[in-house]
């Protein structure tokens, strides 16, 4: 199986020994505590599950700036996006060397991790601007990832952590949420060697399904891991539970048995385009995938990135920085001429009118009106789940 990034073995920071964990929970009650941001809590979950191997905790300012500007830490570890614990209020932890980190996404803000504090540093406005522009490619506060990052606070609390739980993901997404450790074990149990990962934060329509099938066939892969984001999204995105139902129905009906692993991970979407695509590659390598599908506008939002910037960035990273390989995909759509889904670059004789195109707005309008998108766009079983969601969502909105 492919090796983890920067290490011989995974480095999950979740404490799994029950006695040690109980001792740490008892200790946490005696420690100064810090309420995390949602982004910092998501970082703790990814560290806990081994996705962020070989990191041992949150980065300091020097590493964050180095990663932002050069895509490697001060010590030379290749890494595309800072992994930070930012806050605006350090009054309760000043001078502390060991603190409890509290989860803002669970009622009662229970302790999610214990941290050995290496440093508490104030980030200057110039440093924050540099990180923002380098990672997101823009300073525009209308960009959802920029808006979140700018609001996160000016104090950087860095150091190694011991993770006590994986937030709400294990309970709310039981059977779907998996750590990198669990996915590696799953892949090994299936006997898969060549594994293609597909990243999604949306329900999968016919074009996505066929793209996965194309990648599997062309790479002669043993299986595909459909790996969905389960954390925070921007307003208007489909809830994770609905996406999960759509994807599982599609896999159950239209893929051969034991050819697809459906799972999810606990992270908040950054919408950072190319940089986030590289991060996706890092933690897909850590979970055991040998290939990652990178399609048009991967991890993008609005018009902030070119349609294939997330593919081009992989030509810029140092040779050998990653072992995982990229399957570069074009926009996929139903061809009226060929009566099948094609990658558009592979159909040079086609005009725009030869494809079935539906805007996201149009699809949402159809679903909200109880009209199924055409079968060239969406499987009927998937469309039904989405129609039920939009009708329910509209009813709840009307009641409010």
Per-residue pLDDT of 28-51, as tens digits, reads: 999 999 999 999 999 999 999 999
C-alpha dihedral sign at 259, 297, 390, 235: positive
Q: According to the 3-state scheme, what is the secondary structure of 298-357? A: CCCCCCCCCCCHHHHHHHCCCCCCCCCEEEECCCEEEECCCCEEEEHHHCCCCCHHHEEC
Give the pLDDT confidence score for residue 78 in this predicted structure.
Answer: 98
- Is 34 within 8 Å of 258 (Cβ atoms)? no
Residue of 52 and 344 predicted with greater confidence: 52
**Could you tell me whether strands 98-102 and 33-35 are parallel, antiparallel, or unpaired per DSSP bridges?**
parallel
Query: What is the average per-residue pLDDT within 229-247?
Result: 85
Q: How confident is residue 361, by pLDDT bands cut at 50, 70 and 90?
A: low
Residue of 367 and 10 predicted with greater confidence: 10
DSSP β-bridge partners for residue 355: 335
Lowest average pLDDT, out of 146-150, 212-216, 306-310, 355-359, goes to: 355-359
DSSP state of 373: P
Q: Is 201 a catalytic residue?
A: yes
Residue tagged active-site, from 202, 248, 364, 391: 202
Enumerate domains of the chain plus CATH numbers: 18-170 (3.10.400.10), 175-399 (3.40.50.620)
Q: What is the pLDDT of residues 271-285, one digit of tens each?
A: 999 999 999 999 999
Give the pLDDT confidence score for residue 399 in this predicted structure.
Answer: 33
Give the pLDDT confidence score for residue 150 in this predicted structure.
Answer: 95
- Is 200 within 8 Å of 207 (Cβ atoms)? no
- Is 322 within 8 Å of 285 (Cβ atoms)? yes
Q: Is 218 a catalytic residue?
A: no
Scanning 37-141, the segments in alpha helix (DSSP H) are 38-48, 61-70, 125-136
Residues 173, 176, 182, 187, Cα dihedral to 10°: 180
With CA atoms as reference, report the closest residue to 123 among 195, 58, 184, 32.
58
Residue tagged active-site, from 21, 201, 248, 391: 201
Answer yes or no: is pLDDT of 398 > 60: no
DSSP β-bridge partners for residue 277: none
Edge to edge, the sheet with strand 340-343 lists 340-343, 332-335, 355-356
pTM score of the predicted model: 0.93
The H-or-E segment that residue 100 falls in is strand 98-102
- Is 286 within 8 Å of 11 (Cβ atoms)? no
Q: What is the pLDDT of residues 175-187, one digit of tens each?
A: 999 999 999 999 9
Count of residues making up the chain: 400
Query: What is the average per-residue pLDDT within 351-369?
Result: 82
Q: Interior CA angle at 99 toward 97 and 100, to 5°?
A: 170
Give the pLDDT confidence score for residue 359 in this predicted structure.
Answer: 66
**Could you tell me whether strands 340-343 and 332-335 are parallel, antiparallel, or unpaired per DSSP bridges?**
antiparallel
Give the pLDDT confidence score for residue 397 in this predicted structure.
Answer: 35
- Provide the token pair at 164: 């006590």
Q: What is the pLDDT of residues 9-21, one digit of tens each?
A: 999 999 999 999 9
Query: What is the average per-residue pLDDT within 344-361?
Result: 86
Residue of 201 and 145 predicted with greater confidence: 145
Percent of the chain with pLDDT over 70: 97
What is the chain's mean pLDDT, rounded? 93
Answer yes or no: is pLDDT of 290 > 50: yes
- Is 229 within 8 Å of 197 (Cβ atoms)? no
Give the pLDDT confidence score for residue 400 in this predicted structure.
Answer: 28
């Amino acid at each position: 199986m492919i090796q983890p990034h920067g290490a011989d073995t995974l480095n999950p920071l979740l404490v799994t020994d029950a006695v040690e964990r109980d001792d740490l929970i008892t200790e946490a009650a005696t420690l100064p505590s810090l309420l995390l941001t949602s982004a910092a809590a998501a970082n703790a979950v990814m560290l806990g599950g081994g996705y962020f191997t070989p990191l041992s905790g949150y980065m300091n300012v020097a590493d964050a700036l180095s990663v932002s500007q050069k895509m490697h830490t001060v010590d030379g570890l290749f890494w595309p996006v800072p992994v930070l614990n930012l806050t605006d209020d350090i009054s309760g932890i000043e001078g502390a060397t060991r603190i409890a980190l509290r989860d803002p996404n669970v009622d009662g803000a229970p302790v999610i991790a214990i941290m050995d504090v290496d440093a508490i540093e104030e980030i200057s406005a110039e440093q924050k601007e540099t990180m923002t522009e380098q990672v997101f490619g823009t300073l525009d506060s209308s960009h959802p990832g920029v808006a979140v990052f700018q609001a996160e606070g000016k104090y950087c609390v860095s150091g190694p952590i011991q993770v006590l739980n994986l937030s709400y993901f294990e309970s709310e997404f039981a059977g779907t949420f998996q750590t990198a450790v669990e996915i590696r074990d799953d892949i090994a149990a299936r006997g898969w060697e060549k594994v293609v990962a597909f990243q999604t934060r949306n329900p999968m329509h016919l074009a996505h399904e066929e793209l996965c099938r194309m990648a599997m066939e062309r790479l002669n892969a043993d299986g595909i891991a459909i790996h969905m984001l389960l954390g925070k999204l921007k307003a208007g995105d489909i809830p994770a539970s609905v996406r999960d139902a759509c994807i599982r129905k599609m896999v159950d009906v239209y893929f051969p048995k034991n050819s697809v692993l459906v799972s999810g991970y606990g992270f908040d979407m950054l919408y950072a385009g190319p940089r986030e695509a590289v991060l996706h590659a890092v933690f897909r390598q850590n979970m055991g995938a040998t290939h990652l599908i990178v399609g048009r506008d991967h991890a993008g939002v609005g018009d902030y990135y070119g349609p294939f910037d997330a593919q081009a960035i992989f030509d810029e990273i140092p040779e050998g920085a990653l072992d995982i390989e990229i399957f570069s995909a074009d926009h996929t759509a139903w061809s009226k001429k060929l009566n099948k889904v094609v990658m558009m670059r592979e159909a040079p004789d086609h005009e725009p009118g030869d494809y079935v195109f539906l805007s996201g707005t149009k699809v949402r309008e159809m679903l909200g009106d109880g009209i199924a998108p055409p079968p060239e766009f969406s499987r009927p079983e998937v469309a039904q789940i989405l129609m039920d969601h939009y009708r329910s969502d509209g009813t709840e909105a009307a009641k409010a």
